[in-house]
Amino acid sequence: MLNAFLNCLKIPELRGRILTTFGFIFIARIGAAIPLPGINPEPLQRFYESQSSNAILGLFNMFTGGALLNGAVFALGIMPYISASIILQLMTAVVPTLARLQQEGEIGRQKITQYTRYLTIGIALVQGLLMTLALANYPEKIFPGYDMATWGPIVIMQNEIWFILTSTLFLTGGTILLMWIGEQITQKGVGNGISLLITIGIVADFPNAVMMAFRLITAPEGAEATMSIPKAVLMVFLFIAVVAGIVAVTQAVRKIPVQYAKRVVGRKVMGGQSSFLPLKVNYSGVMPVIFASAILLFPGQILEMLYGATDIQFFRNAAQVFNPQKAWYYIIYTLLILGFSYFWVSIMFKPIQIADELKKNGGYIPGVRPGEPTAKFLDFVMTRLTLAGSFFLAAIALFPNLIAMSQNIPQNIALFFGGTGTLIAVGVMIDTMRQIETFLLQRHYDGFLKKGRSRSRASGRTRQLVDTSELKNLGALWTPLAIIFVVGLVSWVLREFVL
């Protein structure tokens, strides 16, 4: 695997794409640390450090890469673009005009992308306006439990109207810049840019989680450590097992055999080949978890507001159902994930269209008649696979909360033991490594894996070794990377031990 990483630097095109990706990611991380004019993020950061079980705030901060707690210009993150993409993707199933655009090839996709950008701007403006209003007047609305009298004001600018106007524009501009960075990474870099930005934001909090876990193990002199060494080792193995399970289920497919009939075209006999149709076990990906989390977020808050306004005990009791400390919360969460898994598959998986395409190309599933019986068979198989995939999603989504409650682990550490963030990060890393491996295999280099397709492509020839003479010519690459590493290390030391 080390040879594969070094070989990435020997291909000029791939090396340029990797450097371009790192450069844009560096810009995104800088924007996550620049606070908005008139914002003092210290009260919010102190409040967050005191909240060991605020899963909602931790999840939002994780998706923005820490920009939310910094009160940064990228505090909205890339989520408005993700919301716009999901809305348009769902609308293609019910709006005939969008459905026709999706089937018109590249021109139609460009038109849908343009609509997505416009919708992103609208969503960012609304979210930015609501966030600035809440920060200025009602911070407890977006940060439950925050008391301005205890922690102090977040907004220190005297002219509130000017703050709301400028901050809304800055937040919207930050989202647009992140959207542009993501598109540039997709076109000129490696991997899907939007997904990489989300993943980098998630992974950015990993060093802080490791440092917090280290402090739990090493207690000050005269005090008792919160976590014992055997328990810490067990947690490391548990983390590896969770990541391995996510990789296994994310890559798992059910291979449906497909046989193509022979056809005579002119003087040539076409077809007669065997193939397979891969059906993913986790076809819906992470979307059911996102939908279920979003729906569970609002009923509890609305019921608490109704209880405060009417003082009716029924609303208070109903709000406790959506409390993450209660068993009903996990039951409803699991049922919502199951329901949204089938909902997403019903919209995105088209068994009738697949059956028609197979029939047009002379393909059929052995033992199943072409046409409608094939569509029913595919729908039956996908229904069974979706059940298994949805139970896996529910287990991964609930695991961080369960481990935080049972083992008394801080929430920002438990978030890396599953949940939405880990699912997204693992999936994006797999896709990015697959794209890099494609570049390597096209240039006749070994891939990351020593078995399977990569090994078979490399068989029958001499194994590629790293040419150290070529690596000496990469001084232009190592110098900026070394400077970035040193600056980041010095900044971290100053922030942790000096300031």
Residue 184, Cβ density class (10 Å: 0-12 exposed, 13-18 middle, ≥19 buried): middle
pLDDT at 47: 83
Q: What are phi and psi of 256, to 5 degrees?
A: -90, 115
> What residues does 278 pair with on adjacent strands?
255
Chain-wide mean pLDDT for the chain?
79
pLDDT tens by residue, 450-480: 554 433 333 333 333 334 444 444 455 556 6
**Is the pLDDT score of 169 beyond 50?**
yes
Evaluate whether 151 touches 46 at the Cβ level (below 8 Å). yes
In this prediction, residue 122 carries a pLDDT of: 92
pLDDT at position 118 is 92
Q: What is the pTM of this model?
A: 0.75
Q: What is the pLDDT of residue 63?
A: 75
| Arithmetic mean of pLDDT, 259-282 | 76
237 phi, psi to nearest 5 deg: -65, -35
Using the predicted structure, report yes or no on whether residue 222 has a pLDDT greater than 80.
no
Arithmetic mean of pLDDT, 355-369: 86
Query: Can you spell out the DSSP letters for 355-413?
Result: HHHHHHTTEE-TTS-TTHHHHHHHHHHHHHHHHHHHHHHHHHHHHHHHHHHHHT--HHH
Judge whether 291 and 275 are in contact, CB under 8 Å: no
Residue of 286 and 249 predicted with greater confidence: 249
- Check residue 484 and give its pLDDT: 67
Structure tokens at 80: 């408005």
Distance CA 351, CA 378 (A): 6
C-beta of residue 43 within 8 angstroms of C-beta of residue 153: yes
Q: Is 459 helix (H, G, I), strand (E, B) or coil?
A: coil
Return the SS3 of 34. Answer: coil
Structure tokens at 336: 């919502």
Say which residue the tokens 């898994």 belong to.
341
Lowest-pLDDT range, 103-107, 268-272, 431-435, 440-444? 268-272
pLDDT value at position 1? 59
Is the per-residue pLDDT at 176 higher than 90? yes
Instruction: Give the integer Cα–Cα distance in Å for 120 and 115.
Output: 9
Higher pLDDT, 133 or 492: 133
pLDDT in tens, 203-215: 887 888 888 888 7
Q: Quick one: average pLDDT of 116-133?
A: 90
CB 181 within 8 A of CB 78: no
Q: If you average pLDDT over residues 77-98, what whole number do you get?
A: 83
Q: Return the C-alpha torsion angle 180, 181, 182, 184, nearest 10.
A: 90
pLDDT value at 84 more than 80: yes
